[in-house]
Structure 1
């Protein structure tokens, strides 16, 4: 790492520590910008990535999309261009050198605005690409991220300067080696754009059953084309995608409430509690009730004095 990159990471680390104070994900006064802190290499954590750019300032993290691992550290950045159910695990962290990171969420509309401003007229492409990638961070991008994060100390500047800095950051991603991958999510008519519509349909209706022909119609694709493009974008089939959403929501409900596992199974769309228990165990390593007991015990241990 160059001296300048190290200097920028050091300043970002101080900013994150000052506005975080404790482990967790912390919203900032800057729209769509979050600071993350974790002092133990705990995990895994299950959730849905919104379209976002993630930069590690200290530590190392793995993100699993289906069976693919994406590892990133302070020399990299990670981008998710659509909503994706993932498993995250911080693999390098300690109380003295905690994992620190920044997440900037964005929308396809913001990507279009950047493309329009810089005169890029992008044509839709037929071949969809994976909607998650890791790339080496450049000094110019980190500089823009640092200027955005500094606005936390100058809230009166946020309404004017934050949109400009976000636009510059997205421009840097679009100019990078995976820029065309990000472009396609915003270009109406592209295969990736049409798969995004299917993802949104499943996300908003994960508890109901879909016929694959219905999803293919949304994408204006044949059934084989839908399967091929959907798997290229998400690394899983539409059914596997929906199953991960259901199981993640079931786990969230079980952790948040004293709810019967069978009731939760029906809430998230399962007709058979036994099938729910089998698939839950396959994903989380234990049957529902045992997994919740283990997770709560680990959480209590992490927050104990």
Structure 2
């Protein structure tokens, strides 16, 4: 890492540590910007990542998209270009050197606006690519990120300058190595754009029977073409994605409500409690009752709460 990059990183580290206190996920007053401060390695957390840019100022994290592993730290940034179920874990953090990061969420319309205003030329017919990727941080990107984060110390400037700095970050990302992959979600007619609509349909109807023919129709593709592009973009099949969504929601319900596993199984779309228990064990490492008991005991011992269990999914 160059000296200039290191200086920006050090400033961002101090800024995040100042505003986000110990083991805190801090939603800043800058719209769609979150700071994360974590004093310890975390358990694996399961959630749906929204389209976002993530940068770690200090520490290390790993993510799994299906079987594909991503590791990133202060030399990298992570982009998730559409809603995807992932598994995440902070793997380097301590009270002395905490994990410090930021997350900036964005929308398809914000990307499209920057594309139109900047006249960056992207071919919508480019082949779709993975909707999650790790890039090498560049000085121009980190400068833009720092300008946005500094607004926390100048709240009177947030309403006017935050949208400008956010546009700059998106602009720099679109100019970077993965600019085409990011732009694809905003370009009507691209394979990524069409697969995104099918993913959103699965997310909204996760507890209903999966009909691949209907999803292919939403994407305006043949079934075989749809399967191929879906796997390229998400690293999983439609059925695998639905299964992850169902099991993530089941775990949330078991943690937050006094419902038994059979009831939750039916609520998330399973017809067989035994099948639910098998698939739950495969994903989380133990049957529902054992898993939830262990999670609650772990957080009781550390004076945590169910809210923390769920919140840590956001880091």
TM-score, length basis structure 1: 0.97
Q: Which segment drifts farther, 150-159 or 179-188?
A: 150-159
For residue 175 of structure 1, what is the aligned residue in structure 2? 175
Correspondence 1:150-161 to 2 at 5 A = 150-161=150-161
> Could you say what secondary structure the match of 2:186 adopts?
coil
Q: Distance in 2 between matches of 1:250 and 1:260?
A: 10
The alignment partner of 1:253 has SS state of: helix
Describe the SS at the equivalent of 2:124.
coil
Spell out, residue by residue over 1:200-226, the C-alpha distance to the aligned partner (whole angstroms, 9 max, x if none). Answer: 111111111121111111011000011
Q: Give CA deviations for 1:234-256 in whole Å, capped at 9, x if unaligned.
A: 00000000000000011011111
- Give the paired residue count: 304
In structure 2, the residue corresponding to 1:269 is in which secondary structure? coil
SS in 2 for 1:303: coil
Q: Deviations over 1:169-215 (max 9, x none)?
A: 11111111111111111100100000000011111111111211111
Q: Supply the distance in 2 between the matched residues of 1:170 and 1:302 (Cα, whole angstroms).
A: 39
1:79 aligns with 79
Note the alpha carbon deviations across 1:30-85, whole angstroms, 9 max, x for none.
Answer: 11100112111121111111000000010010010000011101000000000010
| 1:264 alignment counterpart | 264
SS in 2 for 1:88: strand
Secondary structure of 1:185 counterpart: helix
The secondary structure found in structure 2 opposite 1:43 is coil
Give the Cα–Cα distance (whole angstroms) in 2 for the partners of residues 283 and 271 of structure 1: 18
Structure 2: segments with no counterpart, 5+ residues: 305-315
Alignment of 1:3-18 (within 5 A): 3-18=3-18
1:148 alignment counterpart: 148
Q: Partners of 1:125 and 1:83 in 2: how far apart?
A: 21
Q: CA RMSD in A?
A: 1.1
Residue matched to 1:35? 35
TM norm structure 2: 0.94
1:107 matched to which residue of 2?
107
Secondary structure of the 2:176 match is coil
What does residue range 21-60 of structure 1 map to in structure 2 within 5 Å?
A: 21-60=21-60
